[in-house]
Amino acid sequence: MTDLPLALDIKGLSKRFDRPAVDGLDLEVRAGEFYALLGPNGAGKTTLLRMVAGLLQPDAGSIRVLGIDARRDPIAAKRLIAWVSDEPMVYDRLTPLEYLQFVAGLWEIPAAEAEATSRTLLDWLGLAPHANERCGGFSKGMLQKVALAGALVHDPRLIILDEPLTGLDAGSARQVKNVLLDKVKSGVTVIMTTHILEVAERMAERIGVIASGRLIAEGTLDELRAKARHGGVSLEDIFLDLVAESAAESSAAA
């Protein structure tokens, strides 16, 4: 670990529904890092990220976003965060520009600055021709891009994305990935969950693997490869191996 400031510092985070969804999890993500979070279905990835974004109250533990205690001062933390879920939540009856104007209002971005950023983002994401159309008729990919533009309009320092590429066509996925990589280059931290292991393999600097609400492994691809008992060439092999090991350990402990 370097001395770079931490964009996200999680200690002992827990959330229980019928069973523990996140179980005393510790996680550190450095500022300006692209971090991919992997895990099987129901591993607790979304619950973890929803707690960081302020959408769920943790049962225990601490969350610090760029040094701010997100549980003690959620408003200050939220100013720095952007959240994009797998289901784009956009108003059907607003146009992308109107949506971005609303988002800018929530984050208190000066109108002129917000307008310029909005138009640049829509252009960047290939949505400029649709800027004045209601979102109600948009495809899933277009809605996801509108949601992403909304996440970027307030220039967040930490972008959290939950399966942002689900349902996107290749062209749209490429556009979204490029935008995220550009953001990382400019010093923004990106944390993303994905089931598309190739995306994690190619984009992320570090990868965390979650199973049963715990972080069972993390590191660069090479570090993970070294940790996997049976080794493996691809991230898919490594991921499956780590998850199987964790499941076996859990069964043995039970």
Partner 1 sequence: MMAQPTSVAWFARHELGLFWRDWIGMMTAGQRTRGIILTVILVIAAILLHLLANALVGPWLAEGIRPDKPTLVLVTGGGLLFWSVMLSQALESITRAYYARSDLDLILSSPASSKRLFAVRTTATAASTMLLSALLAAPLIDVLAFRDSPKWFAAYGVLAASSALATAIGVAITLGLFQLVGPKRTRLIAQIVAAIIGAAFIIGIQAAAILSYGTMNRFAVLQSADVVAHAPDVASVLWLPARAAMGDIPALALILIVGFAALAIAIVVSASSFSRHAVAAAGIGHARVHQATAAFRPASQKQALRRKEWALLRRDPWLLSQTLMQILYLLPPALLLWINFGRSAGTAVVVVPVLVMAAGQLAGGLAWLALSGEDAHDLVVTAPVAPRAVLIAKIEAIAVVIAVILAPLLLLAAFLSPAVALTAGLGAALAAASATTIQMWFRAQARRSMFRRRQVSSRAATLSEAFASIMWAGAAAILAAGSWLLAIGPAVLAILVLILAWAISPRKGASGRI
Q: Which residues bind partner 1 (CB under 8 A)?
A: 53-57, 75-76, 78-79, 81-83, 85, 89-95, 97-98, 101-108, 110-112, 114-115, 118, 131-134, 136-137, 147, 150
DSSP letters along 21-32, please? EEEEEEEEEETT
Q: Which residues pair with 158 in a beta bridge?
A: 81, 189
For residue 165, the minimal CB distance to partner 1 (Å) is 18
Nearer to partner 1, 154 or 214 (CB): 154
Considering beta carbons, is residue 106 or 226 the nearer one to partner 1? 106
Nearer to partner 1, 52 or 179 (CB): 52
State in angstroms the smallest separation of the CB of 119 from partner 1: 10
Q: Which of 208, 213, 83 has the alpha carbon at shortest distance from 148?
A: 83
Supply the minimum distance, in Å, between the C-beta of residue 161 and partner 1.
Answer: 12
The least CB distance from residue 115 to partner 1, in Å, is 4
Q: Which is nearer to partner 1, 55 or 60 (CB)?
A: 55
Q: Which of 48, 50, 88, 90 is nearest to 208 (CA)?
A: 48
Q: How many CB atoms lie within 10 A of CB 227?
A: 17
Distance CA 143, CA 168 (A): 10
Contact 35, 204 (CB under 8 A): yes
Q: How far is the CB of 52 from partner 1 (least distance, A)?
A: 10
**What is the identity of the amino acid at 182?**
D
Closer Cβ to partner 1, 97 or 204, answer by number: 97
- Start-to-end CA distance of the chain, whole Å, equals 33
**Residue 71 CB, nearest approach to partner 1 (Å):** 12
Beta strands across the sheet bearing 60-65: 20-30, 6-16, 60-65, 68-69
Are 99 and 150 in contact by the 8 Å Cβ rule? The answer is yes
Cβ-based nearer residue to partner 1, 4 or 55: 55
